[in-house]
Structures are given as C-alpha cells and as structure tokens.
Amino acid sequence: AKEQGKDRVVLFENFMAENVIQRIQLEELLRDAITKNEFFLVFQPQIDSTNNSIIGAETLIRWNHPSKGRVSPAQFIPVLESSGLIIKVGYWVFEQSCILLSQWLKQGTWSDTQLIGINVSPQQFNDPNFVETIIEILQQTGAPARCIDIEITEGLLIDNIEDVITKMIQLKSLGIRFSIDDFGTGYSSLSYLKKLPVDVLKIDQSFIRDIPNDEQSIAIVETIVSIAQHLKLKCIAEGVETKEQLDFLTSINCNRIQGYFFSKPLEVDDFIKFINDKKSV
Ligand code: C2E
Ligand code: CA
Ligand code: CA
Ligand code: CA
C-alpha cells in the first residue's frame, strides 16, 4: 500500500510537471502568435427575436497553430491571462474588430445602430493606459464609439470599483456601451449595479442550458430579466440553442438572443453572408 502511495505521488508530480511545461510551451507559442498571424476573429450574431433582425455581434478570438491546429479559447485564454499577454492580445482584438467594423459600415454591410461586442478581461481593463489606448484605436480605425459594446465580467468589480467607474464614465461619454458578461456567475453583490453605468446584462449560458425543464434555472432567468427591467437595463440571453429555450425567453419578454439556435460564431466571410441572407428575406 505504501509503494502504491509513492507511485501516486510520483504520478501526480509528473502530471504537475507536465502541466507546467505545457503551460510554458503554450505561453511561448502564444507570445508570437500575433506577429505570426495565427489569431483570427469570429463573430456571433445577436438577434432581436421579435423581428429576426441582427442587433449586434460578439467578437470571439480563435487560434490556429500551424502544427497544433485549432486550440480552444478555454485552453489558451487562461494562459494569456496568467502571463499578462491578454493585455496585448486584447488590444489586438479590439483593433481588428474596429478595422472590420469600419469596413462593414463603409460597405453598408453594417449599420451604426448595430453593435459589436468586445470582451475585455479585468487585467486589460485595469491597464493604466486602457482609456487612452481605446480612444487611440477608435481614432486610427475610424470606428464609431456608439457601435462598440464592451463586455466586462463581475470579476472586475471585486476591487477598485471607483477606478472602474471612472474609466467607464470616460468611455461612455464617447458613446461606448457596457455589458456585464456571464451575469450572476461571479462572486459579487448586486449593490454595484446601482453605481455602475452599465447598459446590458448578459444572462450566462449555464442558466439557459436546462430551460425549460429545470425550475431553478427558470427562477434565476426570470429574476435576472426582472432586475434588468426594473433597473432599465437591456438584457440578452446567451447560449440559446433550442426552440423551447427561445419560446420560454419570448414568454418572459427577453427578446435579445445569442446562441447556436440562430447562429454559431462565424468567420468573416460567412458572417457577411449571414447578414446579407437576412437582408434579402
Ligand atoms: P464568453 O464571452 O461567455 O463567450 C461565449 C461563448 O459561448 C463562446 O465560446 C461561444 O462560442 C459560446 N457559445 C455561443 N453560443 C452558444 C450556444 O448556443 N451553445 C454553446 N454551448 N456555446 C455557445 P468561445 O468562443 O469558446 O469563448 C470562450 C470564452 O473565451 C468566452 O466566453 C470569453 O470569456 C473568452 N474569450 C473569447 N474571445 C475572447 C477575447 O477576444 N477576449 C477575451 N478577453 N476573452 C475572450
Ligand atoms: Ca462575452
Ligand atoms: Ca458570456
Ligand atoms: Ca462564459
């Protein structure tokens, strides 16, 4: 039994070492993925279910490594975060989104009433140069601030909330909107909602998944929709995959929908095709 215990320790240590090495290797590969053009963006449409129109799209990053192939964001985003690379990559995502947004507006593909949602991690938001860098990118790309919706998470609100509010007010004065991503999953109190200049609550897909069968999920989603209504915020449901989920959300007047039911995240060409197909209907 003692031998077995020792084996387990060795196994565990190997596993840990392997993990550490994998992480370091991954970090090394990620370090020049930008310059080697291995990242690209996909866009997931957000739909108003009352008339099937496109109200916006969320930008999501993808990584295609020449030999590893597609690596999922669930795997590499945490490494970008722990290494601090998320700041640089986050600005890259922001800039690329703005370049595309400008093009689409010029081409008439997109209209300035439609939003582009961009994820900003707490580390990037807390970068002392965050506000200036965003303003610079908007100026250089010609992307209008009123089309930009920055998705933040509750993790950002745990400390230095005053600083967060100051930055949000600066960006909001330009016309940028703010959404709280994965609303209700973070460890934070609701009291911040009174102080925070946010526009949208995004209902996390973990609450949508078991609808309409799970009573607790139903209660949580109804509550979030009601909070949004009372605070005069918009509300969008994420991870909507089925007609049943859509029907439930319609029945409680939650009409902004993002999820596979309408579309998976799409590469640029397919996204433009999706937009044009909707127009020709
Ligand atoms: P998120 O911001 O909550 O993004 C939504 C995730 O749900 C995306 O996963 C999307 O592909 C997936 N999704 C959308 N609709 C459905 C659906 O109907 N069913 C299911 N099962 N999934 C759906 P993805 O693209 O793998 O991204 C995972 C996470 O990685 C994101 O979660 C976000 O936290 C992070 N991420 C992705 N791109 C960026 C980025 O550019 N910057 C930062 N900071 N984080 C990013
Ligand atoms: Ca998001
Ligand atoms: Ca989310
Ligand atoms: Ca999420």
Ligand 1 atom closest to the CA of 42, numbered from 1: 25
Ligand 1 atom closest to the CA of 44, numbered from 1: 14
Q: What is the pLDDT of residue 207?
A: 97
Give the number of other Cβ atoms within 10 Å of residue 40's Cβ.
12
DSSP 23-40: HHHHHHHHHTTTTTT-EE
Interatomic CA distance for residues 272 and 267, integer angstroms: 9
Question: What residue ranges line ligand 1, CB within 6 angstroms?
Answer: 44, 60-61, 72-74, 77, 86, 90, 93, 119, 121, 181-182, 205, 238-241, 259-260, 265
Q: Ligand 2 mean position to 17 CA, how many Å? A: 32
ipTM of the complex as predicted:
0.97
Taking only the tens place, the pLDDT of each residue in 169-221 is 999 999 999 999 999 898 777 888 888 999 999 999 999 999 999 999 999 99
| Single pTM value for the model | 0.94
Q: Are 256 and 183 in contact (CB under 8 A)?
A: no
